[in-house]
Amino acid sequence: MSARILVVDDVVPNVKILEAKLSVEYYDVITAYNGLDALELAKDKSPDLVLLDVMMPQMDGFEVCKRLKADPTTAHIPVVMVTALSEAADRVQGLEAGADDFLTKPVDDVALFARVKSLLRLKMMMDEFRLREETSQDLGVLNSEDHPDAVHRGRLLAIDDNEFSASQLLKVFSDNYDVTIEGNMEEALVLARGGDFDLAIVSMSAVSFDPLRLCSRIRTFEETRQLPILTLVDDSDADKLVKGLDLGVNDYVMRPIDSNELIVRTRTQVLRKQYQDRLRHNYHRSMELAVTDGLTGLYNRRYMTNHLDTQLQKVKTEFKSVSILIMDIDFFKEVNDTHGHEAGDDVLKAFSGRIGKSVRGIDLACRFGGEEFVVVMPDTDLAVANGVAERLRCEIADYPFEVSRGSISLDITCSIGVTMSTPEDTTDSIMKRADDALYQAKRDGRNRVVTNTGA
């Protein structure tokens, strides 16, 4: 995985050593020797990762990190602090400033590249979601009010077969998080797949199960693939840690555990998960908005046309028929002219709701435009389609529409045209035949179903 990495250190040999190591692994390296230059390069060059020394004159690494994370243009860039400081208080200060991780000098190559790869993978995924969100907003499909910004109380799943260690975790987290403790790997996986957790905390010292196997399986299942993993690691577990990072572990805390560091790292992962969930929600929401009608919630014309194209291809290869219902609300203009467009919108929404009740789960209902609606019915002959159309016509005509918050009751009817596909049909030809049937229903007096066999 290639990426651009910004190395920041006021000591030239330190910069050159890191630059050489990273260049050998085919990373594009840019360098800075003070905090101000680092901030400028981060904005101008948009690196994928910053390796930042803490002890620098004028502006130390903590302040640089704070400024990077405070600037919307650089806030998403992962920052790894590289320092000779080894005290837990220093790590906490760095994490509070927004750092994603710490590496202690002299830097171990294995740990360096494991952390770099892990953070770059995460950034690539987050960048993709952010890009999709920005594109959706630029196209007007999504706006900033379309997602909940509230941060909810995080849910943690702690997987540790040592009862004392598990009880200590519960003591640290219970005030701020909903914590579930589990010592059995299989039970933990069941919980993880069924629960909406924000973080899994895995002990690398587990005896009754293989913690690396557990991490691997968490990354395997679709339901837990995006669940962050934080591991608790002994000094003797260094090899496990490196392998775990390679498998997709997001972060770790070394034993003996400093509770402040654990709290800060946990908070970082939970907030990142909730931000990631928000981006994913917005992406799926934008996809939904792109193919649905904003007023009625039914599919839009473009989606229906593509869907019908696919169904007609199946007609040719699988010899199954597709039936089409096209319907129009009778005298809808009079509703708008007499009662206003708000009442008209209420009718359209209620009308679409009745369509949804009358068609099958495999059928696709769409708002074709204005007061016209279409239902595509796969693997359906004319007799069944006519029965559905007549049921729908009665559902519309027999029950008045309550609009304007129930202050107005309207009798509404609709005209429906029905046709069935032939092996030679295209989307245009079958829609034309259904449309002809609809206009015949209107000419014959409305509030009726007319079938066009094409014969």
**Residue 325 C-beta-side C-alpha neighbours within 13 Å:** 34
Cα 221 to the center of its chain, rounded Å? 16
Per DSSP bridges, beta strands 322-329 and 251-254 are unpaired
Q: What is the DSSP string of 333-399?
A: HHHHHHH-HHHHHHHHHHHHHHHHHHS-TT-EEEEEETTEEEEEEET--HHHHHHHHHHHHHHHHSS
If one counts every other C-beta atom within 10 angstroms of the C-beta of residue 134, the result is 11
Q: Are 355 and 365 in contact (CB under 8 A)?
A: yes
Q: Is 182 annotated as catalytic?
A: no
- Residue among 77, 80, 70 nearest 100 (CA): 80
Q: From residue 166, how far is each of 154, 192, 232, 252, 317 by CA, in Å? A: 18, 17, 11, 16, 59
Question: What is the phi-psi region of residue 219: left when phi exceeds 0, alpha when psi lies from -120 to 50, beta otherwise?
Answer: alpha
Give the position of tokens 């830097």.
107
- Residue among 421, 428, 417 nearest 392 (CA): 417
CA distance 247 to 235: 19
And the tokens for 342?
Answer: 């708000």
Give the position of tokens 């994913």.
280
Count the residues in the chain: 455
Active-site annotation holder among 145, 342, 371, 390: 371
Amino acid present at 383: A
**What amino acid positions are annotated as catalytic residues?**
371
